[in-house]
Structures are given as structure tokens and as C-alpha cells.
């Protein structure tokens, strides 16, 4: 079993070198090796993989996730040891249900920014207006926005340095209007003094970095004041959906201006901080208008080929 644990360490090191974080995968795979040890087993088999994956706890989607995580590890080991059995794809099914993205219109974003005027102090209003505006024009994750430091903003070159998932850092070029808005926020006279060592770009009234639970609570108030209601039980307005809206608007612009959609999608994937473009393709089926424009372009392409 010690050899399997050593090989697990090597597997995780290889994949992390490619940019994957794998905290959950490491925890699950260690649990599986514990499972084998308790039974005196030394080898990965389909039988053991299935029995471990369907242990009580979690829904079918979680069982499927367990075996898929183990399948990747087994495939890695099988390359050097054919005795390692790889659980077949589709052995367990249980696709997790993703929430339907709520795609905000420009008017709704403006309404959210206006609604922030009811948050109390001028500084709190400015912080939330700046946060919502920044999310809308960059599509960054809320966690990335919270983590921004003042030094991450280069006003001279109009660039924002973002620390994203998997330890990946990316530079986002900003429109001059965005740079000016951030500069004004940093120069506000009512900006509270930062605590010792605090370098946050967006700060609370106490001078500390903004906290996600507080942001989400305030966002709930803002969307209600802005009159933004759920479109269905599966499509509710979330803070994260501002990111989805940015992605869809970017692709809609590419179709409407007859731009190279494939090239724009590759740039968008990098801009959003996705590890691979396939993660960005999911945005394609979230907007009926986007699907309609894609179908129109395909029809024109087929017509020219005839």
C-alpha cells in the first residue's frame, strides 16, 4: 500500500504542475486508499472502486464524482502497470444539476448600482458600486475581486493583475473609464484607514477586506430593491451570474460584428481564467439569443458552401 500512496503523491504532483488544485481529489483518493487498507487489498480493481464509490453518503451525482476521480488516477497507474483496472466510463451516472445562469441586462446592472445608494454610508455605497461595476466589465470571480490588492492595479498601463484559481495569475486590460473609476474610489476622502498590513483594493467601513457572506447578504437586498426577480425556480439571480452575463455579452458582440467567434472564445477563456477553453464553451447554451445567432451563422456558412 505504501507504493500506492507514493504513486498518488506523484500523480497529484504531475497534475498540479499543470495548474490543477485537486484538494477534493486528494481527499477522496486518500479515502479510497484507506478503504483498501482496511480490507487488506493492494490493488485497484473495478469491484473495489464501485463498492467504495457507492458507500452511503451523498447523492448519485456524488457517487459518480467519486468514481470519476478514481478513474483518472487508475488510468494514470495503468500506463505503467496493466494490472490496474480502470473503471469504465459511465459505470455510475448522476449528473449534477447546475443552476441556470441568470443573464443580467445592462439596465439591470445599472439598477443594481443605483440600488447601492440605499446601503447607508457613502463609503459602503461606493464600495458596492465599484464592486458590481468591476464584476460587470471584467467577468472576474467574486473571490478574485475580494482578493485584489491596491498594488494589483496599474493605472499607468490600464492593467489589473488577478490571482485566479489553481494559483494562476493573469493580467486584465481595462478600459480607461474603469481605471478612472477605480482611481476615484481609491482617492475617496472617506476611505477608512487600512489596518496594519492590509492592502485590499476594496475595503469595508472598518478598513478591512470585504467578506463574501456580507457581500451576498447585501446583494440580496440590492436585487430586491432593483426589482430583479427569479425567472424560474432554477434560474435565480446570483452574484456569480454577473460573470456569466459578461461572457455571453462578449460572445454576442462577436456574432453581431461578424468577428472570429473561435478566436474571441479563446481570448475570453484566457480573460476569465479558465484552465481550458472547454470550460468556456458551457456559456454557449445559456443564452437563447446566442444559440440563435450561432445557428444563423451556420446556416449562412452552409448556404455559401452549396
Q: What is the 3-class SS of the chain, one letter each residue?
A: CHHHHHHHHHHHHHHHHCCCCCHHHHHHHHHHHHHHHHCCCCCCCHHHHHHHHCCCCCCHHHHHHHHHHHHHHHHHHHCCCCCCCCCCCCCCCCCCCCCCCCCCCHHHHHHHHHHHHHCCCHHHHHHHHHHHHHHHHHCCCHHHHHHCEHHHEECCCCEEEEECHHHCEEEEECCHHHHHHHHHHHCCCCCCCCCCCCCECCECCCCCECCHHHHHHHHHHHHHHCCCCCCECCECCCCCHHHHHHHHHHHHHHHHCCCCHHHHHHHHHHHHCCCCCHHHHHHHHHCHHHHHHHHHHHHHHHHHHC
Residue 236 falls inside a structural domain: no
If asked whether residues 194 and 294 sit together in one domain, one would say no
If asked whether residues 34 and 63 sit together in one domain, one would say yes
Q: What is the pLDDT of residue 15?
A: 87
Answer for the pair 22, 10: CB distance below 8 angstroms, yes or no: no
d(CA 180, CA 174): 10
If asked whether residues 214 and 246 sit together in one domain, one would say no
If asked whether residues 152 and 260 sit together in one domain, one would say no
If asked whether residues 201 and 299 sit together in one domain, one would say no
If asked whether residues 184 and 286 sit together in one domain, one would say no
* Structural domain for 284, as ranges: 241-305
If asked whether residues 70 and 118 sit together in one domain, one would say no
Residue 101 falls inside a structural domain: no
Residues designated catalytic:
141, 165, 240, 243, 274, 283
| Domains held by the chain: number | 3
Residue 150 falls inside a structural domain: yes
Residue 86 falls inside a structural domain: no
Residue 98 falls inside a structural domain: no
d(CA 94, CA 227): 36
For residue 210, give the CATH number of its domain.
1.10.443.10
Which residues 6+ apart lie within 8 Å of 120 measured at CB? none
Candidates 159, 169, 108, 165; CA nearest to 138 is 159
Of 42, 60, 78, which one is at a domain's C-terminal end? Answer: 78
Q: What is the pLDDT of residue 168?
A: 80
Q: What is the pLDDT of residue 155?
A: 94
If asked whether residues 261 and 185 sit together in one domain, one would say no
Residue 263 falls inside a structural domain: yes
If asked whether residues 197 and 281 sit together in one domain, one would say no
Residue 246 falls inside a structural domain: yes
If asked whether residues 204 and 162 sit together in one domain, one would say yes
Angle at 16 between CA 13 and CA 21, to 5 degrees: 125
Residue 96 falls inside a structural domain: no
If asked whether residues 218 and 258 sit together in one domain, one would say no
Ranges of residues in the chain with a pLDDT under 70 are 1, 94-99, 166, 196, 276-279, 281-306
If asked whether residues 112 and 177 sit together in one domain, one would say yes
Which value, to the nearest 10 degrees, does the dihedral of the CA atoms of residues 153, 156, 158, 163 take? -30
Amino acid at each position: 500500500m505504501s507504493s500506492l500512496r507514493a504513486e498518488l503523491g506523484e500523480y497529484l504532483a504531475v497534475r498540479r504542475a499543470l495548474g490543477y488544485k485537486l484538494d477534493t481529489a486528494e481527499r477522496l483518493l486518500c479515502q479510497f486508499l484507506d478503504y483498501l487498507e482496511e480490507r487488506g487489498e493492494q490493488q485497484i480493481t473495478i469491484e473495489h472502486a464501485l463498492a467504495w464509490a457507492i458507500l452511503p453518503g451523498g447523492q448519485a451525482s456524488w457517487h459518480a464524482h467519486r468514481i470519476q476521480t478514481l478513474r483518472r488516477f487508475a488510468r494514470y497507474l495503468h500506463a505503467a502497470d496493466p494490472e490496474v483496472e480502470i473503471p469504465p466510463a459511465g459505470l455510475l451516472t448522476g449528473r449534477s444539476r447546475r443552476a441556470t445562469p441568470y443573464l443580467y441586462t445592462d439596465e439591470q446592472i445599472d439598477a443594481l448600482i443605483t440600488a447601492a445608494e440605499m446601503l447607508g454610508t457613502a463609503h459602503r455605497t461606493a464600495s458596492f458600486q465599484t464592486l458590481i461595476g468591476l464584476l460587470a466589465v471584467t467577468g472576474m470571480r467574486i473571490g478574485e475581486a475580494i482578493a485584489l490588492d491596491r498594488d494589483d492595479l496599474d493605472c499607468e498601463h490600464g492593467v489589473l493583475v488577478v490571482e485566479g484559481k489553481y494559483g494562476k495569475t493573469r493580467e486584465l486590460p481595462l478600459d480607461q473609464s474603469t481605471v478612472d473609476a477605480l482611481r476615484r474610489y481609491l482617492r475617496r476622502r472617506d476611505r477608512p484607514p487600512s489596518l496594519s498590513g492590509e492592502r485590499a483594493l476594496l475595503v469595508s467601513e472598518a478598513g478591512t477586506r470585504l467578506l463574501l457572506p456580507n457581500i451576498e447578504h447585501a446583494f440580496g437586498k440590492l436585487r430586491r430593491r432593483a426589482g430583479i426577480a427569479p425567472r424560474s425556480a432554477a434560474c435565480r439571480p446570483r452574484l456569480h451570474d454577473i460573470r456569466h452575463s459578461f461572457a455571453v455579452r462578449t460572445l454576442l458582440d462577436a456574432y453581431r460584428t461578424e468577428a472570429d467567434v473561435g478566436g474571441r472564445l479563446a481570448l475570453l477563456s484566457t480573460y476569465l481564467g479558465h484552465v481550458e477553453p472547454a470550460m468556456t464553451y458551457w456559456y454557449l447554451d445559456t443564452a437563447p439569443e446566442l444559440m440563435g445567432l450561432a445557428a444563423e451563422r451556420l446556416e449562412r456558412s452552409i448556404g455559401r458552401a452549396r
